[in-house]
Structure 1
Amino acid sequence: MANSQDIVCDIQENFTSEEETYLNVYDAGDRFAIEVVYPCIMALGIITNGAFCIVLSRVKQMRNVTNLYLVNLALADMTFLIVAVSEKLARIIASPVQLDKTLYGLAGCILIPFIVNCTYFASIFIVTLVSIEKFYAICRPLQHRRISSFERTVKLLIGAWMLSILCSCTFIPGRANVVTICVQWPADYADIDLPSVVTLCTSINVWNWFQHVSNFLQSVPFFVAAAANTVMYVKILKTMHRRVGAQDDLTEMNNKRVQVRNQVAAMLVANGLVFFLCQMLFQCVSVALAFRHLRTPPILTVAQIDKALLVARILTYLNSAVNAIIYNIVSSRYRSAFKETFCWRKARRVHPRPRVNNVDNNQDLLNPESGQSDSRNRTSVADNSRNRSLETENTLC
């Protein structure tokens, strides 16, 4: 037990009731989540996102504009999981008190939330950029052909990361103050090795409400991105439905078109639901925390907040771990590339596929624009197939 006699305390705290102590000490549920569930999700995320990066580095056919976005998303997800989960593991090992930050001091109070926030914002911005790419590739294909390029994608990604860094910097004042608390625990807890000195990361003294404002501002990019992505997804699905319905005379191609449409729709719905629903609870809790102090009694009790955050973090971590799994389930091309990269037996190589409705047939559905380079390298086909291709192209115009 730490000796507080030689330490200058900013606050003296005397917990006299068992309830007060319980709310500040990790319980069995907290320990199970932090020591078992979180590390399992982190391991899953490292494996899945790492595998996705390896596949794209080894299979040349998978190197395209959209997958460049997804590699950055995978790196952001891995960094987020490693830093966020490792920080919680280190804290629970170092101290049985939930909010005790004595382990890493002021530097950790600033640096760790900065990295977590930066990767969190980067994920939101990159997912939105992917949706914009899908929107232009499907709804405005001619314009997309003119503007889509590797250089443009690199510039957009640099902009997304720079904006993420800028947003993360605005939250530093909310964690840039270290407060030392000397705690007197109830006599019933004398047999537990509870520290007599606890360190907390708090907001700077200039503005006491900064922590509440930062909780609200943290959620603004999420809800704006959720609204923007929803609008784009609806327009994409409507465009896909309208184009397939307008070409019913090409009956021999109907099955292919329906398959492509269904796969694209499934990918859009899966990506949107997983990303935004998994993070929705955490963002709602953040908004509730921002306005909690305005009401007496507060909107949520401390115990309710702790349990809600426990579940919200599990969902948020899962979101960062399952993206590559979704790609593998929905995309036949990614499955082929995965087999080619990791299976012992010689797998069928991933080849460019003929395009249907400006979307590659059986192609990775995250890459609607990748058919542009494929079309330049195709040899001539039978006259009737060429006529149908021209007819489809004219319809899309």
Structure 2
Amino acid sequence: MSELWNSSEVLGVFTTMIPFSVHDEGLISQSTKQTVEFALVTVFLPMILLLGCLGNGAVLRTLWNQKPRQSLTVYLLSLSVNDTVVVLAYAAHWIINIVCLYDPEWGNKITAAMTVPVYLFLLTAAQRVTGVLTSLLTMERVLAVTCPLTVKSLLLSRHPRKIVTAVYLFCYLYMVPNWFRYNVSLVVAPSRNASYVFYNLTKFARTTDFYRYYGLLAHILMSIIPMIVVLCGNLTIIITMKRRKNFQDTIMFKKSEEHKVTTLLLCVSFIFLICTIPGTCVLIVTKYNTDFGLTGRERHLFDVLLTISFILVALNSSVNFIVYMICSSRFRKTFTETWRCCQIQKIIQ
């Protein structure tokens, strides 16, 4: 997704050089697009990022203090670390946009320096990790619901730290080729009294089909498959929980901690699906509809939907704190004890 984001910015610099027809604006006009994007990026995005920074910080502190640290806690802790990376990357991009408003040249310099390491590598890898970790959480919960007697002996529950480390290593190492995809340069145009950031494909990227198959494989392995796993896993959990109504232990199960944990992870998984499916759909439609893209007839609609999909991704990495507080009594108890201890320590000091 971040690759598409950067592509949008890159080609957006050159819109004055593309021979668009003034009357060929499609379903959404340019003024409507600008109004919607201003409201989303200026009003909603800062609120989401603030919630993400504070919420993920609280989640990290609370989960770190939870004892004993079960396999589920390890997965949630690693997911919170990754969510923090996503939120900070989006916050950096938002701050750079503000800088560009007041000092375009300096803002473009920062953009050129941060594009490859932050956007094409760090943010892209973090979004892939989110999908894989969410699918692992779903699989762990499916096994806990369907095979409650044997789940503790399975790999997902016995070695959570090794699995999380393997996920991080795989996703981040897979994104290393993005470092060699573009040559980023800052070009000054004296006639326009402005500077532009140019993103040129490297010779290797231009002369081979490596990145075409590389990107397709990444999208399948770390986006499509995790979404399918999460969707099918949630359906399996819901069906299994409904079947329990036929047993005498239904009431006991609903009062148990397992039921509360399952409800929590269902909420996390459904939020993940709601926030990631729109961006994937936009990407797929762009591949097969020439009018729906950066330079097509429906370019303004494309820009609006792309902005919405990015904000949804930021929202997915920001709201887990609220979900945990609502769905988990154990998290609320640990959170209260953690911050009460912090207040006591401050008073003592």
Answer yes or no: same fold by TM over 0.5. yes
Partner AA of 2:114 in structure 1 = G
CA contact (8 A) 2:188 2:196 kept: yes
TM-score (norm 1): 0.67
- How far the C-alpha of 1:230 sits from its partner, in A, is 2.0
Shift of the 271–182 alpha-carbon distance from structure 1 to 2, 3 Å rule, reads same
Structure 2: runs of 5 or more not aligned: 1-13, 344-349
Q: Is the 1:42–1:81 Cα contact (8 Å) retained in structure 2?
A: yes
1:164 Cα deviation after fit: 1.0
Q: Does 1:168 align with 2:169?
A: no
The answer for the alignment partner of 2:253 in structure 1 is 257
- Range that drifts further, 201-210 or 138-147: 201-210
What is the CA deviation profile of residues 127-178 of structure 1, one whole-angstrom value per residue up to 9, with x for unaligned ones?
1111122122222234322235877111101110011113322434444444
Instruction: Indicate which of 192, 196, 199 corresponds to 2:197.
Output: 199
Choose between structure 1 and 2: higher helix proportion: 2
Task: Name the count of aligned residue pairs.
Answer: 319
Which of 331, 334, 349 does residue 331 from structure 2 map onto? 334
Question: Residue 159 of structure 2 aligns with which residue?
Answer: 152
Residue 255 of structure 1: how far off its partner (Å): 2.7
Kept in 2, the 8 Å contact 1:81–1:317? The answer is yes
Greater RCO, CA 8 A, separation 6+? 2
What is the CA distance between 1:217 and its match in structure 2?
A: 5.4
2-structure distance, mates of 1:65, 1:300: 50
Distance of aligned partners of 1:16 and 1:292 in 2 relative to their CA distance in 1, 3 Å threshold = closer
Aligned equivalent of 1:45: 52
Specify the SS of the correspondent of 1:321.
coil
> Does the 8 Å contact 2:86/2:126 carry over to 1?
yes
Secondary structure in structure 2 of the residue aligned to 1:124: helix
Cα distance, 1:284 vs structure 2: 1.6
| Alpha-carbon distance in 1 for matches of 2:212, 2:137 | 32
| Alpha-carbon shift at residue 82 of structure 1 (Å) | 0.8
Tell me which residue corresponds to 2:267.
Answer: 270
Taking structure 2 as the reference length, the TM-score comes to 0.75
> How far has the Cα of 1:78 moved from its partner?
0.8
C-alpha separation in 2, matches of 1:23 and 1:218:
33
Q: Secondary structure at the match of 1:231?
A: helix
Per-residue deviation at 1:292? 4.4
Q: Distance in 2 between matches of 1:15 and 1:225?
A: 38
- CA distance in structure 1 between the partners assigned to 2:238 and 2:317 by the alignment: 25
1:67 lines up with 2:73 in the alignment: yes
Q: Which runs of structure 2 are paired with 1:340-355 in the superposition (5 Å)?
A: 340-343=337-340
Q: Which amino acid aligns with 1:139?
A: T
Say if 1:97 and 1:121 are closer, same or farther in 2 by CA, change over 3 A.
farther
Post-superposition shift, 1:13? 6.5
Letter of the structure 2 residue corresponding to residue 225 of structure 1: P
- Post-superposition Cα deviations, 1:229-287, rounded to whole Å, max 9, x if no partner, equal 222222233333334523x2x6xxx4332344864563343222201111111222222
Give the Å deviation of 1:72: 0.9
Corresponding residue number in structure 1 for 2:6: none
Partner SS, residue 60 of structure 1: coil
Provide structure 1 residue ranges, at least 5 long, that are not aligned to the other structure. 1-10, 186-194, 347-397
Residues 139, 15 of structure 1: CA spacing in aligned structure 2 closer, same or farther, 3 A cutoff? closer
- Residue type of the partner of 1:65? S
Distance 1:297 1:49, change over 3 A: closer
Partners of 2:342 and 2:186 in 1: CA distance: 59
Amino acid at match of 1:270: C
1:309 partnered with 2:306: yes
Amino acid at match of 1:134: R
> How far did 1:50 drift?
1.0
Q: Tell me how far apart the structure 1 counterparts of residues 288 and 186 of structure 2 sit (CA, whole Å).
A: 23
Matched AA of 1:161: Y
The answer to whether structure 1 residue 283 and structure 2 residue 283 are counterparts is no
- CA 134–118 in structure 1, closer or farther in 2 if over 3 Å, else same: same
SS of 2:150's partner is: helix
- The structure 2 residue matched to 1:319, chosen from 300, 313, 316, is 316
> Hey, what does 2:5 align to over in structure 1?
none
Aligned partner of residue 197 in structure 1, secondary structure: strand
Letter in 2 for 1:332: S
Mapping 1:1-397, distance limit 5 Å: 14=17, 27=34, 29-61=36-68, 63-95=69-101, 102-104=108-110, 106-113=112-119, 114-147=121-154, 152-178=159-185, 180=187, 182=189, 195-205=193-203, 206-207=205-206, 219-220=219-220, 221-246=222-247, 248=248, 254-260=250-256, 263=260, 266-293=263-290, 301-343=298-340
Larger Rg: 1
- C-alpha separation in 1, matches of 2:129 and 2:42: 27
Q: Percent identity?
A: 18
> 1:381 matched to which residue of 2?
none
Q: Secondary structure, in 3 states, of the residue corresponding to 2:202?
A: coil
